[in-house]
Amino acid sequence: MEKSTKQNHLWLKNHFDWKNAPRPLKVNAFLPEGIFDRYIGILPKVGIIEEFPFDEFISDARTEGEISVNRKIWNDFPQSFRETDEGFVEISSRQLLAKFNIPHHGYKNDYLLPNNTRAIRFLENKTKDLLS
């Protein structure tokens, strides 16, 4: 019989032994062996419209003129509103962050990307292909 979820994670409560942990501190020093054997990570494929003028796009458009600038850009790149991956080129996370001079490190920093441009998106079909 399978233990309840609560019982499966009882090891967390008193497992951390900071005094005797090897230095430098690493996560794997605190995890029981095999704890992640049943988990799998899926990294989605990311795409970008290569020619999109990110430097011209006004991310916090408030005036009629600023909104007009963004509307013209979106009219020039209609693929940003389509439901398909057409017009988007696959790009790695490292390349994407470098394009916008965002440091690539282990912390979540994708919130710094200009996501409101609609010129960066997850490529659903390519991600689904990873699962088959």
Residue 76 lies in a domain: yes
Residue 99 lies in a domain: yes
Overall domain count for the chain: 1
For the whole model, what pTM was predicted? 0.64
In tens, the pLDDT along 101-118 reads: 988 775 577 778 898 899
Which structural domain, as residue segments, surrounds residue 52?
46-131
Considering just the CA atoms, what is the radius of gyration of the chain in Å? Answer: 22
Q: Extract the residue ranges of the chain whose pLDDT is less than 50.
A: 1-3, 13
Cβ contact 36:28 at 8 Å:
no
Residue 122 lies in a domain: yes
From CA 88, how far away is CA 115, in angstroms rounded?
A: 14
Query: In percent, how much of the chain has pLDDT > 90?
Result: 40
Residue 65 lies in a domain: yes
CA dihedral (22, 28, 30, 33) positive or negative: negative
pLDDT at 39 (0 to 100) = 56
Residue 18 lies in a domain: no
From CA 26, how far away is CA 39, in angstroms rounded?
A: 19
For residue 69, the tally of other CB atoms under 10 A from its CB is 15
